[in-house]
Each structure stands twice: as C-alpha cells, then as structure tokens.
Structure 1
C-alpha cells in the first residue's frame, strides 16, 4: 500500500480511563472487534472491522489523568522535520518524535489555538486498513475558537490549500491536498466554555438515527444532530467517558451543495 500524502489523516486512537468500557461501547456501536492488548506499548489495543485495522484504544500513560479523547494523526514522511515546522509556526510539541518499535514514529502536538493532534511517520504500520465503510473513519474537523490561527498554521505545516465556505452564518473552511479535501475547520460558537478546541473524528454508520439511539442507550450523550447535509446525515456525540466523536451516514443526503472560495 502506498504511503499517504503528507498531511493526510492516517490513523486515530482514543485514550480512555476505562479502556474495557470503551471497548464495550464502540464494539456495540460500530461493530468493532479487538486485537490483543500490547502491554509493551501501554496496553494499546487495535480495533478492527472485517479484520482490518480502523482505530485503537489505550489507557492513559501511568501517572497521567488526562480526559478521555480521540486523537487524529496526520501523515508525515519525516516526523522530526514536521515537529520543527510545528514550532516554527507557533504550535507546541507535546511529545517529541518517538519511535514506536518498528511500527513508526509519532509526535503529539497542539496548534496555536489549542487543538491537539498527532503526526505519524509510518514504518510497518501505515495507518487505516479500511476507510469510509461502516465502522471505519471517514472524516474529521478541527473545532476551534481561533479559526484564523488554524487556517494559518495547518496549511503552513502540511501544505494544505484552504477553501472558505460562503455562508455568513457559519465560519467553516476546507483543507485540501490538490483536489482532495482532507479536513474541515469549524469555528466553535455554541459550545460550553469548558469544552476545549479539539479534532472531531467521524465514523461511518449505515443509519445515523439508529446509531444515535444505540449510542445513547449505551450511555453516550447527543451533542447536536442528527442533521442532513449534502454529504450525509450526521450527529455529534460524546461517549460515556466524555470523548467527542461523530457518526455519519453518507448515503442519506439533502440540501444544496455549498459554495467555497479559495483563500490566497
């Protein structure tokens, strides 16, 4: 499999205070099965759909009490060089380039507006083995209160083109690599002040409304939605441990396709 282009979302993992509870929730909601826990890597456990790796779960590192959350990783051919660019453009490197056995090299970082994200330089682990099928990752959006900072930082580090939505009611941008959109960026307006900037990952489901009903029956909470847009019917949720994520049914669409203006 060819390595993804620099800046392409290539992997997602979640850190949970109760990883067994997270396995139960996402296993029932998204149909995930799980590989063996890897104690040599802090209990890291991969999730699969039809035998293909789609995400991973782990407990927080010993001695840390971080909130449960999902992390999205962006591909890099040289994680150390990307870490340098992150600093040069006002970001913060939280975890320096760290080799993970033969799997690859990771960096954890934060943009100038506070959005945490990962960088992954692939070794034997190239990332998602399935994409945009039920249970798998399909999309992500940066939710931030500092959209101008995000729109400057991420293109400078990863070479994205930026297109801005022509809509006075919503401050939204698309980041692309050539013709391919790879990330969205949304200004946070109606979120409680205690909700930090974050990268919201979307998982594909065959029926958004059924997925919302299932998630809430399992102890999750609905943030907003379900909403039908030209790209699908989606909802924003929090799992029982408070980690934010979205589900989307790309087969149920509606509304007029939005217009975007390319930013210089």
Structure 2
C-alpha cells in the first residue's frame, strides 16, 4: 500500500493539516484499499491496463510493487510476491482500522487467523488475516489514500463476501471493525435484498451473501471476498480479458466474472447497475 498525503488529526484533538483527506482514526471499518498478489509484475500490468485502462507508478515499498491509477487517482496496489512468498494469487480488500494490534487480537479471539503482521509500512501498519471460515482480508492503520472520496468514486464499486453464513460473518467482522458501534465514522449494517449490506456515509461499500435466508449454511462454499470494479463497458472488459490471456467465468449485460492470466478472480460491474 502506498499513502503519501498528510491527513487530518482532528479525531485525536489535533489541528487538521489537510481537509480533503482522512485517517483511519476518523474513518474506520470500511474498505479503504484493494491489492493483488502477482507472479509477473509486467504481465499483470499489461493485462489490467488492457482491461481497465489503468496507468502505473512505482511504490515506496520497492521494485516488486506498483500502484494502479485511474484518471490519476490511486485505486489499487499490485505486489509481485506470490512466488517469492509462496502466496496465492488473489485480490484482497483492506479495511481501515484505528489500531492494527487491537484488530488482530480481536480476530484471533474470535477464531480468525493472522497470516502476516501487523507490519510497519510507513506511514502506517498493515496485517493480512483470514476469518474463521478462511476468507482472506487485510487491515490498514494509518493515512488513507489521498482524497478518500475520490478513491471510493473511482473504483471499486464494492466488495462482496461469499460465505456459508452471512449473519455469523457479519458478527465476526462487526466485532473486529466496530461496525454499527455508534461511534462517529463507523459503518452501518443492514439486511437488504437478501444480503447483509455495509454502508459508509450512506453508500453500500460491502455486501455479505450466503444464499437464501431459510437455507442451512452451505459447506461446499469456499468463502472469499470478491472485488467488484465499476466499468462503463462490461462486454468490452470481458473481450479485453480474453484477448490478453484471461478468461470469462460468467457474463451478462451488467456484470462479468473474470479471471486474469495468473488465476486471480474479479468482477466488473456496470456503472448503470443498481
């Protein structure tokens, strides 16, 4: 992750230094970043440039890391560490937290696991976790991407957890990330349209799905977080993915589930979709 802009310390009683950016002390519990592990940095950049039109810049973390830009806004990170660290190739969402150590301790107490960290990545700290059903997610303490609202508007559209029991998962994440705690800046949790929906400042930023309410938890579901990127041309993205070594797993007029050449799965969702 790469965060370079000073943030407001208003939540800690200090004078704000900038008005257009925030820290995890004033916005927390919501998705704040997405990252991808990769085996081949150049090939990965070429693929996502073809599908999304992203441009790239280096990251402070070193030559194995890149930051994706959409219309100049940093929207995602790519780390070519999958082979080096023997990690799975996958997209991972990161949630903003005021204290990474507290969040990791809460996750462990509730049956989750900490795969990596918390580690220091100035100007913040990060950890990679798995919930008690095995779905991987990250947490980030520190400065957020400059102009957080611009990041939210640029991409992704939202993230969705496919899991065996949506209500059990909502309790797990809610207790770790202080969802529906009533603290200023926290996220609201609602049940809408057959899913548990996480809202930040009124916007749906995450969804948790486990199928029909009356159905028993499905043991065949492999729990995972799916990243949904908002695009204007779903078929165009799907054709670009196929042309550049990826594959289309499912497609309709408003949404397509794609897989990149490394095997990482993601979804493109039309801007016009509800």
Bin for the TM-score computed over the shorter chain: 0.7 to 0.9
What is residue 210 of structure 2 aligned with on the other side? Answer: 187
**Pair 1:164-2:200 in alignment:** no
Number of residue equivalences: 238
Cα distance in 1 for partners of 2:119, 2:82 equals 14
Which sits farther off after the overlay, 244-253 or 69-78? 244-253
Q: In the alignment, is residue 141 of structure 1 matched against residue 163 of structure 2?
A: no
Equivalence for 1:199? 225
- TM-score, with structure 1 as normaliser: 0.80
Indicate conservation of the 8 Å contact 1:9/1:182, yes or no: yes
After TM superposition, the score normalised by the length of structure 2 is: 0.77
Correspondence 1:222 to 2:248: yes
**What corresponds to 2:8 in structure 1?**
none
Find the aligned partners of 2:138 and 2:97 in 1 and give their Cα distance.
Answer: 10
Task: Name the counterpart of 1:130.
Answer: 151
Distance 1:126 1:154, change over 3 A: farther
Contact 1:109 1:116 in 2 (8 A): yes
Q: How does 1:31-46 map to 2 (within 5 A)?
A: 31-36=53-58, 40-41=61-62, 43-46=64-67
Q: 1:236 to 1:83 in 2, by over 3 A?
A: same
**Structure 1 residues 115 and 51: alpha-carbon distance in aligned structure 2, compared to 1, 3 A threshold:** same
Matching residue within 44, 51, 68 for 1:22:
44
Q: Secondary structure at the match of 2:151?
A: coil
Contact 1:113 1:146 survives alignment (8 Å) = no
* Structure 1 residue 179: Cα displacement: 3.8
| Aligned position for 2:269 | 248
The alpha carbon displacement at 1:178 in A equals 6.3
**Which of 97, 106, 110 is equivalent to 1:85?**
106
What's 2:16 paired with?
none
> Following the alignment from structure 2 to structure 1, what is the Cα–Cα distance between the partners of residues 57 and 164?
37
Instruction: Quote the offset at 1:56 in angstroms.
Output: 1.1
Q: Is 2:91 the partner of 1:64? A: no
Q: Hey, what does 2:169 align to over in structure 1?
A: 150
Q: Is the 8 A contact 1:222 1:236 kept in 2?
A: yes
- CA drift of 1:69 comes to 0.5
Alignment-derived partner of residue 109 in structure 1: 129
Q: Whole-Å Cα distance in 1 between the matches of residues 270 and 118 of structure 2?
A: 36
Q: Distance in 1 between matches of 2:209 and 2:263?
A: 20
1:59-89 C-alpha deviation (Å, 9 max, x unpaired):
1266432221011100011111111111222
2: CA distance, partners of 1:140 / 1:13: 12
Q: Is the 8 A contact 1:34 1:48 kept in 2?
A: yes
Give the Cα separation in 1 of the matches to 2:268 and 2:203: 21
The residue that corresponds to 1:175 in the other structure is: 198
SS at match of 1:251: coil
Cα distance in 2, alignment partners of residues 177 and 124 from structure 1? 15
